[in-house]
Chain A
């Protein structure tokens, strides 16, 4: 039994994430409770009350206020944390742009959940994928350990002086927030070594007054947006670098931008993000045993979208099936649209088909994965349907 396994504890995903946040030593936490994020901030509130965590914990009247509080606190030089989901993220929308526009390196866990109407509290990823263009980096995690480790990495990425961008660590609601599984909680000393105190170059200081997020007329506004655009693209290298530094310190690595499973000789490749990867790996094991050359490519960084890394990773695939828990009503869905765009001007002319699945918490089963692979194999001879809702109950339509 390795040292790592010995230190594992069986805890709830939300506790594990809250513990990781505590290790990051945030100065200010502001959040509004919303299912399935509640346990994360409940745990943090408890840690502050018990004196385990020295942090200002602000309870506010809404998610709009929660993130607005952090705009001020971050501009004043504090390391800031929030967490939300679904309707809460929707209510934050205006502030999301303010945070990224003011280049405030706030980190937030999004416990991915369906968005109403119809009212639904279960998991999918429509909430965060819908906010893909607001300037925040978005990293999607597969399991609780990765959620823990990525939360720590997120601050290091966000606070890099070359980046200065907020990060959402997206974890599937319930599936990861409410599961109890063995996790290695982060060691205090190693965390302090990995993540130094936040010392931003520019802060709100009465002795040296400055305005954050000042008015920009048509002669400069585009340049501010360009700087954010540029910082997102620069962060591709930083995400990878930080993942490697994390590996050196803690011995765990998830791929920086992408991760893969059984990709070496894979002909059919499933591209996806989040916790459904566990199911897909099991399905691939079963199909591999039957001689089917199926592989998996996990998109860890959805924003920035790693175009070059994707082209490289997928260049030998015969057919690509994208599976995602979101839908772009009126278009197709986020990941498949971005992937097609990434390939259009490249030499890769692999057929790409897209599936939206698991909306509103519907289970995605091994049978569903097999169905996707069958559809993908058929698409090698010609695409019949470019995009579909998987497992649709046509009998009630």
Chain B
């Protein structure tokens, strides 16, 4: 892929540019503890937690591991786990 001066790109370039590699800790959700309040989805600064088949799941292509979801969860259902790659 060639680059264009002025870093001009077509819209929606973040769909191509994945930023999850910055993460050190990964959120792990205990779905049995989860009461589906959706606070994690609301507070996620990247907007990358969504419901899939009823469960809240972080999109690891974009999750930076910031821990906001884990801190906001009233049920302490999200644990930040050191991710080794």
- A contact residues vs B (CB 8 Å cutoff): 101-104, 164, 202, 209-217, 220, 223-224, 227-228, 231
Contact = CB atoms under 8 A, between A and B. Distances in A.
Contacts, number: 50
Contact of B5 (A164, A217, A220): A164
- Please indicate which of the listed interface residues B6, B10, B13, B17 has the most CB atoms of chain A within 10 Å of its own CB: B6
A167 to B, nearest CB: 16
A227 B17 CA distance: 21
Contacts of A217: 17, 19
Main secondary structure of the interface of B (DSSP, over half): loop
Contacts of B7: 101-102, 211-216, 224
Contacts of A214: 7-9, 13
Interface in B7-24: 7-11, 13-14, 17, 19
Contacts of B13: 211, 214-215
Contacts of A228: 5
Contacts of A209: 10-11
Contacts of B10: 209-211
A215 B17 contact: yes
A164 B4 CA distance: 12
B9 A231 contact: no
| 9 tightest A-B CB contacts, nearest first | A103-B6, A214-B9, A209-B11, A102-B6, A214-B7, A103-B5, A211-B9, A227-B5, A223-B3
28 contacts: A101-B6, A101-B7, A102-B6, A103-B5, A103-B6, A164-B5, A202-B6, A202-B8, A209-B10, A209-B11, A210-B8, A210-B9, A210-B11, A211-B7, A211-B9, A211-B11, A211-B13, A212-B8, A214-B7, A214-B8, A215-B7, A215-B17, A220-B3, A223-B3, A224-B5, A224-B7, A227-B5, A228-B5
Nearest to A75: B6
A210 B10 CA distance: 5
Contacts of A224: 3, 5, 7
Nearest to A165: B5
- Please indicate which of the listed interface residues B5, B8, B13 has the most CB atoms of chain A within 10 Å of its own CB: B5
A164 B8 CA distance: 13
